[in-house]
Structure 1
Amino acid sequence: MARHGAELLPELPAAIARAIGAYLAALRFERGLSLNSIDAYARDLGRYGTWLAEAGVDHLGEVTRTHIEDFALHLQDSGLAPRTRARGLVAVRRFHSFAHADGITDADPASEVSPPREGLRLPKALSVAAIEAMLATTGGEEPAQIRASALLELLYATGARISEAVGADLDDIDLETGLIRLYGKGGKERIVPFGSHAQAALGAWVSRVRPGMAAKAKAGTQAGALFLNARGTRMSRQTAWKIVGRAGELAGVGTEVSPHTFRHSFATHLLEGGADIRVVQELLGHASVTTTQIYTKVSEETLREVYATSHPRAR
């Protein structure tokens, strides 16, 4: 028997799953949408619910406008077709409108998020100073600080997706040569270099803290991951998100920065420094340079700002 609607949803936090199920039921019984349309909504909202769970969000009331904007950027970087990405964001906006109208949430965080216009959405990138302020929050000697330093330095040094960073194994990294093997969309492999700051932070984690955590792993569990949790098993994406958010809070940047913020900043800073777009494409693991080209628009905006404030006849 074919599965439809809510039956297609992946395993999600209970509150989010209930809200999506209620929306799908409303689409079917109140609006009379076809099963094919409901299935499309289920796939789009299942993808959104999974992303929220990975961001540590368990209830719709916790979702902010920044979450939705970051999800839009996630879709843009996902390799999905433009029409699929646009449909996914429309589904999210309608879902939040329903949740607010139905009393599930007190507000509609998607109400101010514009419908997708392909090619015009610019990613958010922090300044070099803001990134350095976040990295400086992890300068202590506590095990959690050493782990946080290694993770944040790696994210900024390589532009890795958070799934790639927490999915890396110890065998994927070579501290002597400063190279790491990352596995991107569809398991595509790439080798990315990292600099001396990341090398030092990762070296401290691998030699001083990680062995103690690995020793706590139970027999038969996976303990070969580069980043471990207190139980000696692979760090979750939720934990990684919390580490980034905490650093943002301590640095005064804000708690709504995400791991993707480091990826956007990595690409933007490279291009602003004169890197060739094809090299940035390879480092990011983009299948098409078209995806990477959005970062050139960020650099163009920076050039305009510098010109406007520096040239005597700009105004």
Structure 2
Amino acid sequence: MKPTGLVEEWEVWQYAARLSEVTIVERVRVLNQLALESECNLLTIRALDIVRWYASHSGDWGDSTHATYHSYLSVFFKWLQLQEHRLDNPLLKVGSPKAPERVARPIADAAMLTILKSNMHHRTRVMILLAGLGGLRCSEIARFKGEHIDLERGRFLVAGKHKTVKYVPLHPILATTAETMPARGYWFPSNSSRPGQCVRGKSVSDMVATAIRRSGVEATAHQLRHWYGTTLLEDGADIRVVQELLRHASLISTQIYTKATDVRMHAAIRTLDPYRAVA
């Protein structure tokens, strides 16, 4: 079977397993990138070929990206063995890169203000507000519809990861913004290449990142979500409440935001008094 056919078969298998489109598209992209850049057949590619491919991107991949892409390859080569397309698994000789400790990287309050004050398309501004005041991921923003807004109850619906659906409270600014957007259908419909569908999450990420960069701030779209979670904690919200608002399945995921609460750490340091015994 040709490499292209292999990847297509794997793509179909993933859809049959009801994985999210975002996950499938990204996995397929990485596999095609490996085949193209290594100039190797995925049925015969060696561990050395994969290591050399990793090394060719050492300057533009962070540790997290490297670990993520390795996990994609791991799933793929295990699938090849399961389908009896290949007897060996070259990744067993490569070893697994250690994923870095996850930490929240919220933008500063002043940076958020700078972004919101800058000029940009209204559509992009709405995306930024959904991320910063709703805590939405880029893929969730892409799928947002007018029907998701429930002004009467002051809430909105989020179609999240793993096909989860959850209502969360609606920020007053988002409620006002909703009046400027379609009451029905996707807020961010795709162009003519995907009629009737929404834009992709990657497109949302790129549009927001471009607007942020033009404002003079160095940050990613996902850091707006980090600002949302961290600011809630710093302002005194209970961590279980923040877990629900961020829609984390595990409290462990929410705890990464507690590591970034500089306000609390500075406040704790200021309580240290070396002369308290005198008092």
TM-score by length of 2: 0.65
- Among 210, 227, 237, which residue is 2:201 paired with? 237
Partner of 1:251: 215
Partner of 1:20: 34
In structure 2, do the counterparts of structure 1 residues 69 and 181 end up closer, same or farther at CA, with 3 Å as the change threshold? farther
1:179 offset after TM fit, Å? 1.6
Partner of 2:113: 132
1:282 offset after TM fit, Å? 0.9
1:158 offset after TM fit, Å? 1.2
The gaps in structure 2 that reach 5 residues or longer are 12-23, 75-96, 275-279
Partner of 2:90: none
* Distance in 2 between residues matched to 1:132 and 1:70, nearest whole Å: 29
1:259 offset after TM fit, Å? 2.5
1:273 offset after TM fit, Å? 0.6
* Distance in 1 between residues matched to 2:29 and 2:130, nearest whole Å: 33
Give the secondary structure class of the aligned counterpart of 1:303: helix
TM alignment of 1:142-157, pairs within 5 A:
145-157=121-133
* Distance in 1 between residues matched to 2:271 and 2:209, nearest whole Å: 37
In structure 2, do the counterparts of structure 1 residues 267 and 24 end up closer, same or farther at CA, with 3 Å as the change threshold? farther
* Distance in 2 between residues matched to 1:227 and 1:161, nearest whole Å: 14
RMSD: 4.2
- Among 91, 103, 108, which residue is 1:122 paired with? 103
Per-residue Cα deviation, 1:146-172 (whole angstroms, up to 9, x for no partner): 212222111111111111121122211
- Among 289, 293, 296, which residue is 2:255 paired with? 293
Partner of 2:238: 276
Counterpart residue identity of residue 227, structure 1: F
Partner of 1:203: 179
1:306 offset after TM fit, Å? 5.2
1:228 offset after TM fit, Å? 2.6
Give the secondary structure class of the aligned counterpart of 1:147: helix
Q: How many residues align?
A: 228
* Distance in 2 between residues matched to 1:276 and 1:178, nearest whole Å: 21
1:14 offset after TM fit, Å? 10
Are 1:227 and 2:210 an aligned pair?
Answer: no
1:199 offset after TM fit, Å? 2.0
Counterpart residue identity of residue 179, structure 1: R
* Distance in 2 between residues matched to 1:14 and 1:294, nearest whole Å: 29
Structure whose CA Rg is larger: 2
Per-residue Cα deviation, 1:104-156 (whole angstroms, up to 9, x for no partner): xxxxxxxxxx9325xx4312111122112112224x6xxxx221222211111
1:11 offset after TM fit, Å? 5.8
Partner of 2:162: 186
* Distance in 1 between residues matched to 2:113 and 2:65, nearest whole Å: 25
1:293 offset after TM fit, Å? 1.0
* Distance in 2 between residues matched to 1:174 and 1:249, nearest whole Å: 33
- Among 215, 225, 230, which residue is 1:263 paired with? 225
Partner of 1:96: none
- 8 Å Cα contact 2:140-2:201 kept in structure 1: no
TM alignment of 1:105-120, pairs within 5 A:
115-117=98-100, 120=101
- 8 Å Cα contact 1:162-1:237 kept in structure 2: yes
Per-residue Cα deviation, 1:234-256 (whole angstroms, up to 9, x for no partner): 233233122211221122112xx
Per-residue Cα deviation, 1:174-217 (whole angstroms, up to 9, x for no partner): 2454321112222111101221222222322337xxxxxxxxxx
* Distance in 2 between residues matched to 1:133 and 1:17, nearest whole Å: 38
Give the secondary structure class of the aligned counterpart of 2:107: coil
The percentage of aligned residue pairs carrying the same residue is 25
1:268 offset after TM fit, Å? 0.5
The gaps in structure 1 that reach 5 residues or longer are 46-59, 76-84, 92-113, 208-222
- 8 Å Cα contact 1:175-1:199 kept in structure 2: yes
* Distance in 2 between residues matched to 1:15 and 1:284, nearest whole Å: 28
* Distance in 2 between residues matched to 1:186 and 1:15, nearest whole Å: 20
